[in-house]
Amino acid sequence: MKATLPERFYTAFLEGDRWKLYLQGVASTLELTVIALILGILLGLVVAVIRTAHDQQRLGQHNPILALLNFLCKVYTTVIRGTPMMVQLLIWGFVIFKTSRNHTMVGALGLGINSGAYVAEIVRGGLMSVDIGQTEAGRSLGLNYLDAMRFIVIPQAFKNILPSLANEFITLFKDTSLVQAIGGMELVYYAQTIGGRTFDLMPPYLGIALMYLLLVILFTWLQGRLERRLRESDRR
């Protein structure tokens, strides 16, 4: 006798405490997202500062080392933004780290490097939005370029950057589902595992789709509150 739809969902989520595997998948997905975002922010910040420093050189100045670093940063952002993330993950998982057994961390590395290219443009836009006179004022007080960035420019640009970084977090959260393609353990991996045991993939897939949707709605709501708080602080 064919199982009814409620019975299929009971088998996929409640039988044998399988719901614990979904919770483990959500936790792994969030951990993967946070690690990738931290890596992306660090990498993106370095790239953004280099590119901004190159673009803001005084007329007639030319630093060959900075020009080389700027060229490498341009190559990095062009390659990463110009190729599909899935292809990048496959290269990381099956070419560069083909002998690694920690597929989840390889996936986090791939996601972080991909995110870094987009974070770099977000941060660069925020840095360029701060009047260059702020940097020059800091330099006139004896600060070097990095200190002027650290103490003057970045704090002012932070409010412009933060909402976009929150949006990048949401994007990364959804993109973690691609890590399953190289054997990474996240929410899709656990759903497929349960579907393989029950020989019924529909309930697990529908279930995790709902989980992704609810979490994205929660993150979007938190992002909206953050943006409202930032707007209110600007009015004060």
- pLDDT tens digit string along 110-120? 999 999 999 99
Query: Does the structure show a pLDDT above 70 at 236?
Result: no
Write the pLDDT tens digit of every residue in 62-119. Answer: 888 999 999 999 999 999 999 999 999 999 999 999 999 999 999 999 999 999 999 9
Considering Cα of 96, then 100, then 104, then 105, what sign does the dihedral take?
negative
Give the pTM: 0.88
Q: What is the pLDDT of residue 59?
A: 65
Domain range enclosing 168: 5-235
Query: Does the structure show a pLDDT above 90 at 39?
Result: yes
Category of 118 on φ-ψ map: left (φ > 0), alpha (ψ -120 to 50) or beta: alpha
Counted domains in the chain:
1
Q: What is the pLDDT of residue 211?
A: 96
Query: Does the structure show a pLDDT above 70 at 17?
Result: yes
pLDDT band for 135, please (50, 70, 90 cuts): confident
What is the distance between the alpha carbons of residues 115 and 103, in angstroms, rounded to a whole number? 18
Q: What is the pLDDT of residue 57?
A: 77
Q: Which long-range contacts (CB under 8 A, 24 or more apart) does 193-202 make?
A: 193/21, 194/12, 194/18, 194/21, 194/22, 195/12, 198/8, 198/11, 198/12, 200/8, 200/11, 200/12, 202/8
What is the domain-level CATH number for residue 110? 1.10.3720.10
Query: Does the structure show a pLDDT above 90 at 204?
Result: yes
Mean pLDDT, rounded, for 126-148: 81
pLDDT band for 169, please (50, 70, 90 cuts): very high
Lowest mean pLDDT among 53-57, 65-69, 180-184: 53-57
pLDDT over 70, % of the chain: 97
What is the distance between the alpha carbons of residues 119 and 37, in angstroms, rounded to a whole number? 9
Q: What is the pLDDT of residue 112?
A: 97
Q: Which residue has the tokens 């600007």?
A: 234
Query: Does the structure show a pLDDT above 70 at 235?
Result: no
Residue 207 CA: distances (Å) to CA of 68, 86, 113, 130, 191: 49, 23, 30, 45, 8
Q: What is the pLDDT of residue 1?
A: 63
Helices (H), the chain: 5-13, 19-55, 64-82, 85-91, 103-128, 132-140, 145-148, 154-175, 187-198, 202-235
Q: What is the pLDDT of residue 221?
A: 93
pLDDT band for 149, please (50, 70, 90 cuts): confident
Mean pLDDT, rounded, for 50-72: 85
